[in-house]
Structure 1
Amino acid sequence: MPASKTITKPQVLPRGAVIMTLLVLATMIVSFLVMMGITNISPTKQTTQLIIAANAVSILVLIYLSYATLKKLFLFKSKAKHNDLHTNVAMIFALIASIPSIIVACFSLIVLDQRMDSWINNQNNQIIDMSIKAAQSYTEDNAQSLLTTTLSMVIDLDQRRMLYSLDRGAFSDWLTYDAGRNNLLGASLVKSDGEVVVAANLINDHSLPDAPIEALRSAAGDKPVLIPPGDTNLVGAVIKTHALPDLYLYTIRSVDRSALENMRVMTDNNAEYQALASNRSTTQIAYALLYIELTLLLLLTAVWSGIAVANRVVLPIRQLIGAAEDVATGNFDVSVPVRGSDGDIGSLSHTFNKMVEQLKTQHSDLISAKDEIDERRRFTEAVLSGVTAGVISVNSEGIIAGLNRPAEQMLAVDASQAVGQSLGLILPEIGAVFDVARDNGRSSSRKQISITRSGVARSLNVQITREDADIKNTSYVVTVDDITDLVAAHRSSAWADVARRIAHEIKNPLTPIQLSAERIRRRYGKVIVEDRAVFDQCTETIIRQVGDIGRMVDEFSEFARMPKPQLAATDIRTVLRDASFLVEISNNQIKFEHEIADEPLVGNFDSRLLGQAFGNIIKNASESIEAALQSGAVETGYILVRAKSAGASITVEVLDNGKGLPSENRHQLLEPYVTTREKGTGLGLAIVKKIVEDHGGHLEMLDAPANFHGGRGALVRMVFPRLAEAAAA
């Protein structure tokens, strides 16, 4: 059989549907067992509400499964004109199963309502209430009798207070006699803290409880206190004596245990009865949901059974008819399954498949050339589509499906032009990363690349993320992050190491060279008469060049060994004024302007390093103006030094009307050894950037505004964090 499309049939039991159906069935069984009281879980109101919630969810699941199954069945019917029998058989099974189920459910609900009416009525409620009242009356009579006996004993005790004071033993014998005469299990004189002073020596099998402290406190106000039975069949009484200070008579008597047990049973039965009465509607709802759930389950089972029967009986003929129609329309990628149990229809299906296979073989040779031509055409169109970069959504074939707006803004890409094009052909750098990520099968891959767009070189971090586990039918998200600044930081670190090594190797011989030149000039300056001017010029040149080289080495060393800032609370205005003054006194031809805030601009700064950075920026501005003055580009040079607060930050700006900054790759001026001046070392701005970043700020290189003395020159902006206390003030 050729690899071809097989005509499908409705799936009878999808795995997910089977799992959900089994869960629903388990929920029904557990709910029924709990409601019938078969399990250890009592069907309380809260339990019944949980059962209602669980079965309501189950009903929604069954409704969804029924809807999904019927929808799939009708969609299957609408795809071809020979699918009616599947739908008809499934619907007949559904009707056969659902109608009896609905009748049984309605009948069961009616019977349940009548049975609950017979259980819950006023007559049963009155009988239970009267039984409880009778048992309570018996207990109260015993308690009242004990209270009367105890009061009588207190009166006798007050009369025998002298006996208590003179002979405790005789008093104890009398208390024992009086307690036995009144059928008490125990009698004792106790203090307010529960300590027993005198107790009757009665012989019994009971373990008598101590006098409750709360009862003693209640009896302190000359009010008799009764102690109910509680969990035992013992009642007690506490009465304060009048003749004996701070003493209480505590008596105990037993009550018929069976009467108390009957009262407890009747109380529990009454509680269950009241719970059943209050839970009636909830119980009916729970049973109703169970019946509805059973009906829906039978309906769903009937539909699945109908589909299974239709698949077995009708599917072979329908598949053969549908496959023949597909072949008639030119589709040769079809086949019909052949089963031995199909008989003559199976033989016909086998012959049909052989015929289709032969037709497909002949047809495939004709279309292979066309497919190759189309593939080359699509490849050529993708190559000519243009170049884009950014965060891109790509399908499994490497075709761009969309761009997000940050990608358009960062890479200046029009999404309408990029969508539908091949990523690998538009962006070879990113396309190569995409191909590797797609082939290695990992869900996420990352690589750093470098691209140049509009004359600006950028370092990008490209991450490829697969959305789905299916590699063949999935889509990818290409995320491009600009890490140019990070790469520049690594480059600065490398240059710092190089500068440190160069400074070490060059600085050592400079001093001997300079000393030798000076010694030659002193030793032979008076001896040499001929060409004395040449001799002096050569020695001075050596000394001067050695000095220049020394200064360059000092700059190398300074860049390589940038000290760690010693931060302290500092007003940046003072540092800025001092740095500006040092440049201002040596450049009389330049007019300096200051716009410095009146309020303190306090932050954690190293005043020495910050002054070095400000001085370097202002010095660069003055040198830029000198170059512009020499070329005649400006007549008068201006430098504006500005400092102001902006909430939690401090902004320092230096503006000039000099020759300005280059328009391309301006950010590279902040990297080491990049300069636009002939005698510059390219370390000044790199040092300034390092100082600013060490203070938690950032540096911006901009063009001066158009209204600043002719619109020429540069604007260098430095933003620093401000102390929270100063910002709040």
Structure 2
Amino acid sequence: MPQDNVNSSSYYLSEEYLRKKRRRTRWAVFGLLILLIVLTALEIYIQGSHISTPIASNIAVLLIVNINIILLAILILIVAKNLVKLYLERKWKIIGARFRTKLVLAFVVLTFVPSLLLFLVASGLLTNSINNWFNQQIEKSLKESLDVVEGYYKSSGKNILLYANMMSELFYEKKMMNRENLQSLRNTVLKKRVDYKVDGILVFDKKLNLIAESIEPDLKNKLIADKLDPLLRRALKGEEVMEIIQIDNKSLVTGISIIKGEGLTVVSWFLSNEIVNKIKNIVSAFEEYKQLKLLKYPIKFSYEITLLLITLLILFSAIWFGFYLARGITVPIKELAEATKSVAEGKLDFRINVKANDEIGMLVESFNQMTSDLRAGKLAIEKANEELRKTNIEMGQSKGYIETVLENIATGVISIDSHGRVSTINQAASRILNVSPQNVRGEAYKKVFDASYLNPVRAMIKGMNEMENENAESQIRLMVSGRLLTLMVNVTVLKDWEGKYLGMVIVFDDLTELIKAQKTAAWREVARGIAHEIKNPLTPIQLNTQRLKKKFKEGSSDFENVFDESTNVIIKEVEGLKKLVDEFSRFARMPEPNPRPYNLHKIIDDTLVLYRDTRKGIKLLTHYDSRIDNINVDNEQIKRVFINLIENSIDAVNGEGVIEIKTFLDTGDKTVKIEVTDNGAGVPDENKDKLFLPYFSTKKKGTGLGLAIANRIIADHNGLIRVEDNMPKGAKFVIELSA
């Protein structure tokens, strides 16, 4: 078998030549397709349009036929050129020529036979269709339709003339044209228009003066102004007049009859628009048929040329598509063979620049990807090693920095891994818990810390699990080396991105000294408040005692009255002091809460019962969240909180206003929120931070302990209480308790 000659016709195989040739071929095919589509559309348009002159249609059709013949010749030349080119490539043994020849012949055989059959069948159908267009039956039907149209017009005109003649005879016999009978004439005209169901009746005297009418004013004006005068003059000469007048795109049948030398009768009637349109369509169809009949054979020949042109175009497309497919296979394979040889020689940077979207393209892309992977392999390994070295250095630096930070902060940090071993403990944690870091790291936390340490933290973790939280914070008290410490502890569960448990981190701050300082400051504030509250009643006691002493020494005659007044004042102030001492004792010795499941809404309702009938000017409203059931609280203590808040709101609204209590359930945080609002004067911003301090009060007779007691009770229930502004007016107390 002879081998392909790769070296022959180098320019013929050059990429630049092939690219230019392919571009020219594409433009030629594209131009032929566009021209064929335009000419075919033009031919169809001419045959379907309303061209009035057969000469123009003949010229256009013949022009299209001639152009189609020219296109047919060009297409035959292009097909022949491609076949000759294929023969020469095979003769010169150009690479891929045999494969292209087989592929092109296969496409020609597959397309020529069906295209030829399609041409023969389509040509026969076209001939039958054109013959059916111009058969005698259609022409006869169109002519008979025109006869029907003409008969309809004549019948309508005869009817109108008959009505006009009948009325003229009636007017003449009844002598209605006389001046004394004009009113009878007008009445008769009105009646006859209704009887005959016509659109207008006009009666003129022999001087063409209108003497009677029954017609729409607009129609009368248009009829008299433009159309009627010449018809009237023809009728006066004795001519029988019947005309179809076009008014506003409507056909008006008008008949005129003479009244034996005395005048004229005009009767008009509009033809139905639907009938008129159908008549126009019939006339138009007959005219088009006559024009198309003249173009029967040119049209038939043009269609056959077009079918032949399409058949050859399909054949050319098959040849061109065969070349295209062959080129898409042979060129990448040639490039791939050369590239494989280069890679075998060690040139890993070789790349094939062939565009293909099929399996050959996937093969070329895979080869390019393989060489790229081989070339990038060493670079990737070197880069990975360098990045790994830098990462190790950065991790070492980061680890050292984190360890330095942990060792120098005042907050204790302990991390426990998933196996329960202590992995990290900083200096602050060692100092607070009085343990040695060397003895703790790597050991099980249950072994390192005794039960007194673990129990409070275990309680926190148990609460986290019950509430399905991953973080918990609480203030606990521990006995460490004989010293009672108060710690704020935060426990956080560690998980990876898949949710796998990695351990936990325990962070705690020593609040012992801070709480001592706060207690000292609080008691100092309490002492100052007590001194102030005691000083207030001592002044009137002292003054009244001095007054008694003075009156007694003077032996005053009103000593008894003064004695009663002074002793009453002293007793009243002493009772105030006793009440103050009782309130202070109650605040200082608040009993521990005894929480049990209680219905929160029932506690609120029981509290409001005390006020509903006693405060006439105050409206008490409630809005409950139905999702809230029982919560663990001390019934009496929580009731006392509500009493203090309601009393405070009553004082704020000054005897008249609205107090509302709302409850909400936060399912996310699993907390119950209670809001007590009023529309009173509100709380100034500068007093909000002091409102819950002992002995702080803005009321003249207030002890300053009511809200402090409420705050203490809520704190003992592990809750929060705060004050906010109520919009648009008043104050809002918000309580948050565990659900």
Larger Rg: 2
* Structure-1-length-normalised TM-score: 0.36
Asked which structure has the greater RCO (Cα within 8 Å, sep 6+), the reply is 1
* Structure-2-length-normalised TM-score: 0.36
